[in-house]
């Protein structure tokens, strides 16, 4: 498993991808005990993935992730190319309409939050960022003069620019002051570094201590970086906001199966309701294809007032 991790880190994959891939590879090997990976090939991969789909009833995305992990093992680590796996029983992908809150529900939800959690939830709804894009936000990527936020390394390893809501400028400034105070305390204690992508860490050795590279929402305590074994200040755990959102939904009585990502869906839907061009919304969301953004037009068309029932005529 060490060679798998080495190869993943050589390709600069995220720590989440590393954990997911090593977990799937471990499960695959445990499914065929006593046999070496080189003795396992396409038939075993087909059997493993078919069992996931038929007996495990996993989602299509989960099965696809498992397949990607095994292809990485054989192609990148072992240097073997598997034949085309035509006989795999793939989980049928589903395309569901996103859950969207109306404006009054968003207001009620935000009123149940305060402090850091309120600010993070407001950013999700006010900018269209994903949850992990929000918790990974760095101080240097906020431009108060231009009222812009640069979202770095989003889905598909792409950067994009979204707006900085003017109503959040003051609260975001206070949060950055808190992050700066935490960073200064870490420096005085002999620490003060944060995680940087490997190439940047080598090119700019001192950047990890600079204020601009610190997270806007730092963790409450320092932790050991699993790759460098250094004690650093990471970003806040995303589960902090997820729990706060779940509790707020219960308190306000919203019965929809909403989550942090629902605020991003609501951002896109409300922009389209306000008459903004779908291409503009596509750019703000960071979608590669406008067809991905078009799902929100279906939400608009299927709303309670989107179509007049023939009975009402």
Q: State the catalytic residues.
A: 130, 155, 261, 264, 287, 296
Rounded-to-5 percentages of helix, strand, coil across the chain: 55, 5, 40
Q: Chain-centre distance of CA 180, in angstroms?
A: 25
Cβ 188 vs Cβ 182: under 8 Å: no
Helix/strand/coil for 31: coil
Structure tokens at 16: 């989440």
Residues 215, 235 contacting (CB under 8 angstroms): yes
Strand 231-232 relative to strand 160-163, pairing: unpaired
Rounded to whole angstroms, the Cα distance separating 30 from 26 reads 6
Kindly give, in sequence order, each residue whose CB lies less than 8 Å from that of residue 10, ignoring residues fewer than 6 positions away.
none
Specify the residue for token string 């093992």. 73
Fill in the DSSP letter of residue 56.
S
Phi and psi, residue 205, nearest 5°:
-60, -30
DSSP string, 231-259: EE--BPPHHHHHHHHHHHHHHHT--S---
DSSP 303: S
Place of tokens 């950067």: 159
């Amino acid at each position: 498993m060490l060679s798998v991790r080495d190869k993943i880190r050589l390709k600069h994959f995220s720590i989440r991808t590393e954990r997911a891939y090593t977990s799937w590879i471990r499960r695959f090997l445990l499914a065929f005990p006593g046999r070496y990976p080189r003795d396992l090939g396409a038939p075993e991969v087909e059997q493993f993935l078919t069992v996931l789909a038929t007996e495990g009833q996993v989602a299509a995305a989960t099965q696809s992730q498992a397949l990607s992990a095994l292809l990485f093992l054989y192609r990148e680590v072992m240097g073997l190319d598997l034949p085309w796996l035509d006989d795999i029983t793939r989980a049928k992908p589903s395309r569901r309409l996103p859950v969207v809150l109306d404006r009054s529900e968003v207001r009620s939800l935000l009123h149940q939050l305060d402090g850091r959690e309120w600010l993070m939830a407001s950013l999700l709804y006010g900018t269209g960022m994903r949850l992990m894009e929000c918790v990974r936000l760095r101080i240097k990527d906020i431009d108060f003069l231009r009222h812009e936020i640069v979202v770095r390394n989003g889905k598909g390893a792409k950067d994009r620019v979204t707006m900085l809501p003017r109503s959040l400028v003051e609260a975001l400034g206070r949060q950055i002051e808190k992050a700066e105070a935490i960073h200064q305390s870490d420096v005085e204690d002999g620490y003060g570094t944060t995680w940087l992508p490997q190439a940047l860490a080598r090119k700019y050795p001192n950047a990890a201590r600079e204020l601009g590279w610190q997270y806007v929402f730092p963790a409450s305590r320092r932790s050991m970086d699993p790759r460098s074994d250094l004690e650093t200040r990471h970003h806040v755990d995303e589960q902090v906001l997820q729990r706060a959102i779940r509790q707020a939904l219960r308190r306000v009585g919203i019965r929809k199966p909403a989550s942090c990502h629902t605020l991003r869906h609501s951002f896109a839907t409300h922009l389209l309701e306000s008459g903004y061009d779908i291409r503009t919304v596509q750019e703000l969301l960071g979608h590669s294809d406008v067809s991905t953004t078009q799902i929100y037009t279906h939400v608009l068309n299927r709303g309670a007032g989107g179509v007049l029932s023939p009975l009402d005529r």
